[in-house]
A and B are shown apart, each in its own frame.
Chain A
Amino acid sequence: MKLRVVLGYTAAGATVLVAVLTPFLLFPLFSKGVAALPLHVDEVYSGGPTVRAISMGAYSIDVHRPVYPHFLQSEKPFVQLDWNPVSALPQHVSDEVDIDGDGQPDIRVCFEVPRDPKPPLRVDVVSLNPRYQTMQNAGKEKFSRLIVRVDNAILVRVPLANP
């Protein structure tokens, strides 16, 4: 019984010590530990990693790896393309993009670039490869089908056709 009492008070004292050490040692330690875990934010949100950049002169188009939703996720598979920097884009963008890098254009993308960043964007995508879906006057209805301005880039997500 005496041992249990000693252990109990030792643990209670250690808990108070943990509390005192938290802001200086444990919180940074735990946070860095969690950040170091091999985890990533769901690519439906982040758009997946960039696999290559296509130079268009004053601006470039970053092509991301296609994203495939998990389990019963309500989104469709898509590929994200980033036009950046926004300041170098013409007022009207109309580009043919070779997404898969085979030398042939896969889609034609057209959108207006308003100088005011607040108005919602609209995009037309014409599929030149049956792997990619056509979009007409798309806004930001779904994560897999949208055009948005994020920081200094305009992001277009083109849904993939059903395999």
Chain B
Amino acid sequence: MATDARTLPLARPAPRGIGWSLLLTLPILVWSLLMFFNPGSSKTPIWIISGAITALFMTTLFFMMMRSRSTYRWRRIFFVSLGVLFPIGFIYNIVVMRGTMGIPVEEMIAGRTPFCFMPIPMLILPAAFTRTLVFPGSIASASHGIAAMVGVWLALTLVMGKGWCSYACFFGGIEEGVAAIPARAKIRKLDPRLRYLPWAVLLAMVLLSLALFEPAYCMWLCPFKAVSEYVAARNLLGLVQNVIFILLFAGLVIVLPFLTKKRTQCSWFCPFGAFQSIFNKISIFEVKIDKERCKPCLVCLNACPNLSLSKESVARGETLLSCMKCGACVDVCPRQAIVWHIKGTEIAWKPERARLMFLYAAWAMAIMFGGSIIAQGIATILHFIV
């Protein structure tokens, strides 16, 4: 099974035929219909319409991935839609339920605070030492319960590893969308040491959460509280917390992505992203660089939205541990030296097969998790229109 990397053409391959692309998309179409129109579930007309729009949307994007043989730009359309539609559906729901984006004490005591994935790493040490979950939610609640979210996270992590941050995270799409707006980065020179910051934030937040017995990141530093829900400002402390959330959101999710064309919150700050990087070690899919084909032009370094490539890592023929498997570097490489790869196989041996297997798994998960959030957002918009 010798490598045929050097026999691969240097030019980008021609688009796949429409018939083949449709055939490859067929399983995703069936999966979408199964996810949004599963038998036995009763749906309102608005839900049926939003489900149909989402199924069509996700299937079309997958078809384009098959036809164009590129991943990043089509995934980005999904991901930005997820980032934009999540707050719309979520905020509408909580405002209808409780009349405010602030979490009232009553809801915390009743265990009705929706659980997102961000606090997962911060719950581990308190749970290990005291069997206590430091989150004002419900463990077994079917919707937004801690067990349900941890269950989804476990399953998706098994499939994608750090790919969670490109195919499932319902926050990252906002900054990816902002980063896509300018044609060129205004700030191009970024200190490579900044990529270690999320690990520092993770360590600090995990230890602080154990010491203070609260999800410290959620209480003090999560920029996305600005577009989801926050601790209701009952006193000066609460006011300070909310000002921090808004400033971090403005800085890390709006201004810096616009100036750098990078996902700065993810690259420099997100403790969950750092935690998720660990699971890239167990993920069977990865992105590799064929050192024999690579003439280090370093176009990939600029293209990577997450600072997951360095000169040294390119020389080694691999991405860094923080690689989110978004496909930006693979698509942009002028010599097709960066490839999707299955661990254990030769580098650049049938990379399209590795890409297809990863995309089937990742897109199925994206439809199940992100697709349902997109459908919720569309249903909310339809609710206002109709």
A residues with CB within 8 A of B: 1-2, 4-5, 7-9, 11-13, 15-16, 18-20, 22-23, 26-35, 38-47, 69-74, 140-141, 143, 146, 148-151, 155
The answer on a CB contact under 8 Å between A19 and B364 is yes
As a 0/1 sequence over residues 148 to 172 of chain B, the CB contacts with chain A under 8 angstroms (1 = contact) are 1011101110110000000000000
Known: A18-B361, A19-B365, A23-B35. A73 touches B213 (CB 8 A): yes
Q: Is the CB of B210 within 8 A of A71?
A: yes
Q: Are B368 and A7 in contact (CB under 8 A)?
A: no
Asked if B52 is an interface residue, CB under 8 A from chain A, the answer is no
In the complex, are the beta carbons of B139 and A39 less than 8 A apart?
yes
Q: Provide the residues of chain B in CB contact with A146, threshold 8 Å.
A: 105
Contact B212 A22 (CB under 8 A): no
- Among B127, B133, B159, point to the contact of A18 (Cβ < 8 A): B159
Q: Are A34 and B150 in contact (CB under 8 A)?
A: yes
Question: Chain B contacts of A150 at CB under 8 A?
Answer: 106, 109-110
Q: Return the CB mask of B167-203 against A: 1 if under 8 Å, else 0.
A: 0000000000000000000000000000000000000
Could you name 10 residue pairs across A and B whose Cβ atoms are closer than 8 Å? A16-B357, A16-B360, A19-B362, A32-B147, A35-B145, A40-B132, A40-B133, A41-B137, A42-B132, A73-B214
Asked, given contacts A9-B342, A31-B151, whether A39 binds B132 with beta carbons under 8 Å apart, the answer is yes
Flag whether B7 is at the interface (Cβ < 8 A): no
Find out whether the CB atom of A47 lies under 8 angstroms from the CB atom of B150: no
Contact A41 B284 (CB under 8 A): no
Do B361 and A16 have beta carbons less than 8 Å apart?
Answer: yes
* Distance between Cα atoms of A47 and B152 in the complex (Å): 28
Kindly identify which residue among B105, B158, B344 contacts A5, using a CB–CB cutoff of 8 Å: B344
Contact call A15/B148, Cβ cutoff below 8 A: no
- Bound CA span A8–B288, Å: 15
Chain B interface size, as a band, is: 35 or more
Check A8–B155 contact: CB distance below 8 A: no
A-B contact count (CB 8 A): 160
Is the CB–CB distance between B133 and A47 below 8 Å? Answer: no
Q: Is the interface of B mostly helix, strand, loop or mixed?
A: helix
Interfacial chain A residues near B284, Cβ < 8 Å? 8, 11-12, 15
The 7 A-B residue pairs whose C-beta atoms are closest, nearest first, are A8-B344, A31-B151, A30-B151, A35-B147, A19-B361, A4-B344, A45-B136
Rounded to whole angstroms, the CA-CA distance of A19 and B163 in the bound complex is: 13
- What is the bound-complex CA distance between A150 and B343, given in angstroms? 53
Cα A125 to Cα B132 with chains together (Å)? 30
**Identity of the chain A residue whose Cβ is nearest the Cβ of B211 in the assembled complex:** A72
How distant is the Cα of A141 from the Cα of B145 in the complex, in angstroms? 26
B25: Cβ under 8 A from any A Cβ: no
> Shortest beta-carbon distance, A111 to chain B, in Å?
15
Interfacial chain B residues near A141, Cβ < 8 Å: 234-235
Given A22-B368, A34-B151, A150-B110; 9 other pairs, CB 8 A cutoff: A4-B345, A8-B343, A11-B342, A27-B155, A31-B147, A41-B138, A70-B126, A72-B212, A141-B235
Compute how far the CA of A74 lies from the CA of B139 in the bound complex, rounded to whole angstroms.
23
- Distance in angstroms from A90 CB to nearest chain B CB is 22
A5 to B284, CA, bound (A): 12
Do residues A12 and B109 form an inter-chain contact, with CB atoms below 8 A? no
A15 and B159 contact, CB distance less than 8 A: yes
In the assembled complex, the Cα of A41 lies from the Cα of B138 at a distance in Å of 7
Query: Which B residues lie within 8 Å of A40 (CB)?
Result: 131-133, 139
Measured CA separation A9–B354 after assembly (Å) = 9
B44 within 8 A of A: no
Contact indicator B132/A41 (Cβ below 8 Å): yes
Q: Is the CB of A22 within 8 A of B342?
A: no
Q: Is the CB of A140 within 8 A of B234?
A: yes
Q: Which residues of A contact B213 (CB under 8 A)?
A: 42, 44, 69-73
Q: A73-B214, A149-B106 are in contact. Are A15 and B158 (CB under 8 A)?
A: yes
Task: Tell me whether B24 is interfacial, beta carbon within 8 Å.
Answer: no
Measured between C-beta atoms, what is the minimum distance from A143 to chain B in Å? 7
Shortest beta-carbon distance from A41 to chain B in Å: 5
Question: A39 near B131 (CB under 8 angstroms)?
Answer: yes
A-contact bits for B238-260, CB 8 A (1 contact / 0 none)? 00000000000000000000000
B297 at the interface (CB under 8 A from A): no
Docked complex Cα distance between A105 and B127 (Å):
37
Decide if B146 is an interface residue (CB 8 Å cutoff).
Answer: yes
CB distance from B24 to the nearest CB of A (A): 13
